[in-house]
Amino acid sequence: MKSTKNNVKKMFIAMIIVFFFVLTSFGQISISGKIMDESNVPIPYVNIGIKEQGIGTISDREGKFQITISEKFSNSMISISHVGYKQLNFEVAKMPKEIFLKSHPINLKPITVISKKYKRKVLGNQSKGGLFMSGFSKGDMGGEIGRKFSIKQPSIIEKMGFYVKYNDYDSVILRLKIYTINKKLPDKLISSENLIQISDRSTGHIELTPDIPIEVKVDIIITLELVEHFPADRGHIYFSQSPPFLGNMYYRTTSFDKVKKYKGGPMCMYINIKY
- The CATH number assigned to the domain holding 236 equals 2.60.120
- Which residue among 68, 100, 132 closes a domain? 100
- pLDDT for 245 equals 72
**What is this structure's pTM?**
0.82
Residue 1 makes CB contacts below 8 A (sequence gap 6+) with: none
- Over 60: is that where the pLDDT of 63 sits? yes
Q: Are residues 42 and 94 in the same domain?
A: yes
Q: How confident is the model at residue 251 (pLDDT cuts 50, 70, 90)?
A: very high
DSSP letters spanning 27-57? -EEEEEEEEE-TTS-B--S-EEEETTTTEEE
Of the two residues 2 and 175, the one the predictor is more confident about is 175
The SS3 of residue 23 is helix
Give tens-digit pLDDT for 129-176.
888 899 999 889 999 999 999 999 999 999 999 999 999 999 999 999
Residue 4 in any domain: the answer is no
Among 69, 100, 131, where does a domain finish? 100
Cβ partners under 8 Å of residue 145, min gap 6 = 134, 135, 136, 223, 224, 239, 249, 250, 251, 267
Report the pLDDT value the prediction gives residue 40, as an integer from 0 to 100.
95
**pLDDT at residue 235 is higher than 90:** yes
Same structural domain, 90 and 220: no
Contact (CB, 8 A) for 233 and 131: no
* Structural domain containing residue 199: 120-274
If we measure between CA atoms, which residue out of 207, 209, 176 comes closest to residue 190?
Answer: 176
Report how far Cα 149 is from the mean position of its chain's Cα atoms. 18
Kindly state whether residue 12 falls inside one of the protein's structural domains: no
> Does 7 fall in a domain?
no
> Which of 228, 231, 233 has the alpha carbon at shortest distance from 170?
231
Asked if residue 264 and residue 231 are part of one domain, the reply reads: yes
pLDDT value of residue 26? 54
Are both 94 and 147 inside the same structural domain?
A: no
Are 32 and 64 in contact by the 8 Å Cβ rule? The answer is yes
90, 157: one domain: no
pLDDT in the model for residue 85: 92
Q: What is the pLDDT of residue 12?
A: 44
Q: Mean pLDDT, to the nearest integer, of 32-47?
A: 95
What is the model's pLDDT at position 116? 66
Residues 139 and 234 in one domain: yes
pLDDT at 110: 54
- pLDDT (0 to 100) of residue 112: 55
**Residue 115 within a domain:** no
Helix (H, G, I), strand (E, B) or coil at 224: strand
Is residue 28 over pLDDT 80?
Answer: yes
Asked if 137 and 242 sit in the same domain, the reply is: yes
Query: Is 204 a domain residue?
Result: yes
The Cα–Cα gap between 172 and 199 comes to 7
Do both 140 and 254 map to the same domain? yes
Co-location of 203 and 153 in the same domain: yes
Q: Domain total for the chain?
A: 2
Answer whether 67's CB lies under 8 Å from 57's CB: yes
**Residues 36, 184: Cα–Cα separation, whole Å:** 35
137 C-beta neighbours (distance < 10 Å), count: 13
Mean pLDDT over each residue of the chain, to the nearest integer: 86
Q: Let me know whether 146 and 194 are in one domain.
A: yes
Q: What is the CATH number of the domain that holds 57?
A: 2.60.40.1120
Taking residues 112-127, what's their average pLDDT? 81
Quick check: 34 and 99 in contact, CB under 8 A? yes
Beta-strand (E) ranges in 59-125? Answer: 64-70, 77-81, 88-91, 98-100, 120-124
Same domain, 129 and 260: yes
193 & 234 share domain? yes
CA–CA separation, 65 vs 46, rounded Å? Answer: 9
Q: Which pLDDT score is estimated for 242?
A: 87
Residue type at 247 in one-letter notation: G
Over 60: is that where the pLDDT of 24 sits? no
Q: Answer yes or no: is pLDDT of 202 > 90.
A: yes
In a domain, 44, yes or no: yes
Instruction: Look at residue 147 in the predicted model and tell me its pLDDT.
Output: 96
Which of the four pLDDT bands, split at 50, 70 and 90, describes residue 71?
confident
> Domain for residue 76, yes or no?
yes
258 pLDDT above the threshold of 80: yes
Q: Percent of the chain, pLDDT > 70?
A: 86
DSSP-H helix ranges across 90-137: none
Which of 100, 129, 145 is a domain's end point? Answer: 100
**DSSP H or E stretch at residue 261:** strand 260-262
Could you tell me if residue 142 is inside a domain?
A: yes
